[in-house]
Every structure is written in structure tokens, then in C-alpha cells.
Structure 1
Amino acid sequence: MLRRISASCRSNTWRRAACRIARLFLMRRSGMRARVLPWVLVLAAEACASLGPLAQIIQPPRFEQADRTSEIRLARPSASRPLGGASVRVWTRVTNPNPIGFTLSSVRATLIVEGEHAADGEFPLGLPLAPGQQSTIPIDLAIDFSDLPALAGIVRRAAAGRSLAYRLDGTVGVDAGRLGRPTFGPMTLVTGELQVAGF
């Protein structure tokens, strides 16, 4: 880390001073280091000419099943959906594992149900997350059975009231201010079972 910070600094006097401060705190062994180091790195990032090495410290938000039931609700056939469809709500708990805050800006999600591609969706969120903070969010997707004939088996299982295995894949974007706006994925966000709700 010391070498990375040194490589990114330039000749400007203020920049050299800020980077020396960052190196000083990196070499300290006191308990204060753990509390102050993230903010020193941010200040050094603003002072140094290249943010590349520091931007790499941002980890993607962590997704897992929330303590709420994810559901699939069948929709009856209609003029716009002659074969019917379904609405899906997946409850997720998202955590910021970083020592600095960021905003969860977007999620592009792909829903896989019983091994079949079922739906895609893009969600602009704008959800601020402090360091270590968790938040529970719903992800809503719509399935049109006329577009996906392979999902006929899913309709039969859902109509029988059986739960359905799902996987939610996605690409996640965050806004970390001066550290940039990295995008993570595609990756698996969460897996679980969908419980069938009534019409």
C-alpha cells in the first residue's frame, strides 16, 4: 500500500505533504490507525494525481436474503398478455462492507427461476449506505409468459402452490464520491425460493 501511494504522488508540494501524511498513518501501529486510516486515504486520494490504486480498495455491496418472504404472484391472461404472466418480489438485505460510505446507485438484475431465464430489470436506487450499514430493499420484476414459452413448467408448479427455486444475478453500480463510480459484476446477488401468492 505504501508503494502504491508513493507511485501515485507527484511533485506538487501540497500533494507530497498529503501523501506523506498517508504514509505516516500506514506505518503507525496504534489503535487510532484503524479509525483514522480510511479518511487519510480519502484525503490522499484527493491530493494525488492518480486515484487508480486507491479506487481498488472499494468492495462491492454484499447482498443476501432478507428476513421476508420473496413471492411470485400469477396474473391471469389478458389482452396484453394472452398467456398470462407473473410479478415477482425478491426481498434482499444489502450491506456496505467498506470503511467509507457510498451510494448504491443502480442494480441491473436478471431473474432465473427453476433454471430458466425469466425476467430482466434495471433499478435506479440512489440508496446511501454508511460504512457497515445494512438496508432491506425489494426488487420487483415482471414475467410475460408469452415471451418465454419455456416457463410453462413454472406455471404448472406455481399453480399447484409449489415453491420455486430462483437465482438473482446482477450488475451493481455505486457512487463513492472522489473515489469514483465503480461497477461490479455480473455476479450472483442472492438465491432462494419464491413462495406462490394468490392471483
Structure 2
Amino acid sequence: MNRSSFVGFGQRAALLAGLGAALTACAPAQLSGPAVQVPTFETRSVRLSGITLPQGGQSGTAQLQLAVQVQNPNAFPLRLRSFDTDLYLTGQPVAHLTLPDVALPAHGSALQSAQASVPLNLNVASELLKVARGQGVPYRLDGTFTADLGVLGTPTFGPLTLTQGQWQQPAILPF
């Protein structure tokens, strides 16, 4: 490497360091603190809204409705997008869900809703039968999502457990 290349590299490094310091000085105080905090998710409801039994060569399905409260713990607004989630019942994956994009105000929240049509197999049917009878079943929603932070970028969070709990609803089957 010749001397002129080395000097050019040194000048570029100094310029980048100075630019980084200037951008940091210009950043709002609320953004210069800790890193972006991951939004939190709380299940508001999980509901088995219907079951279609197998007939004529078609497999049966269960219709589920899920409502999740998303909370932004940050002092600046976020736009969450590209939700890629999986619903688990008693530790087994049963459905892939897509949640809509959401804009969250600073320290604010929004309710997200999703519907899924779950193909019935013996394991899923067994767990859903418990729910239909009013019994509790453990569930978990795992996934990834992207946060649009404007000039700060678009980090992807996950995979992580977004929410989990015990799914129990009033019985919809009399037996």
C-alpha cells in the first residue's frame, strides 16, 4: 500500500468519525438513550368461532379469531410491519397468522386482530375439542416483525414469543 492510499484512508476515517459525532449531537435526546425497546404484546382474546367437519374428501377446518394489544414502550412513534407469526397449541404449531401493519404513537398502543383457518388433524382436533368444551389449552404466538424507525433504520425483531397464556372460552359444544 502506498502512502497516498493510507493518507486517503485516514482522512476518510476521520471524516466518518466526525460525521458520526455530528449526527449523534443532532439526534433528539429521547433517541440518544438506550437502544430501541421491543414493543410488547398482550393477548386480548383468542376465540374458536367455528368448526367445519370433514366431508366429501375435504379436510375439516377450525376458524380462530385472535386480538392482541401492541404497546410501544419508546418515546418516539413506531410503524411495525412484516409480521410473520405462528400459533402453537400445547407446544405444537397449528396455524400461520399474518397481522396487519400498525402505526404506534410514542408510549401508545393499538389493537391487532387476525383470523385463521386451521386445518384439522388428530392433534389439533383434540386440542380444539377441549376448547370447544370450555377446557383450557396452553397457547403461544411466536414470530418476527420489522420496525420502521425512519432515519434510524428498519430492524427486525425475533424470532421471539410475542404472547402466551391459557386459552379458555365458554363451551360451544354441549358434549
> Shorter-chain TM-score: what band?
0.7 to 0.9
2:88 to 112, 116, 119: 112
Pairwise CA RMSD:
3.2
- Residue 22 of structure 2 corresponds to residue 18 of structure 1: yes
The answer to which structure has the higher helix fraction is 1
**Match in the other structure for 1:59:** 37
1:131 to 97, 100, 106: 106
| Structure 1 residue 15: Cα displacement | 3.5
TM-score between both structures, scaled by the size of structure 1: 0.66
**Match in the other structure for 2:62:** 86
| Structure 1 residue 107: Cα displacement | 1.3
Q: Secondary structure at the match of 1:58?
A: coil
What is the count of residue pairs matched by the alignment?
Answer: 160
> In percent, how many aligned pairs have the same letter?
26
- Residue 118 of structure 2 corresponds to residue 143 of structure 1: yes
Q: Secondary structure at the match of 1:70?
A: strand
Q: Which runs of 5+ in 1 are unaligned?
A: 1-8, 26-35, 42-53
**Match in the other structure for 2:6:** none
Q: Which runs of 5+ in 2 are unaligned?
A: 1-12
**Match in the other structure for 2:79:** 103
| Structure 1 residue identity aligned to 2:165 | G
**Match in the other structure for 2:144:** 171
1:24-63 map, 5 Å: 36-38=28-30, 41=32, 57-63=35-41
Give the conservation status (yes or no) of the 8 Å contact 1:163–1:196. no
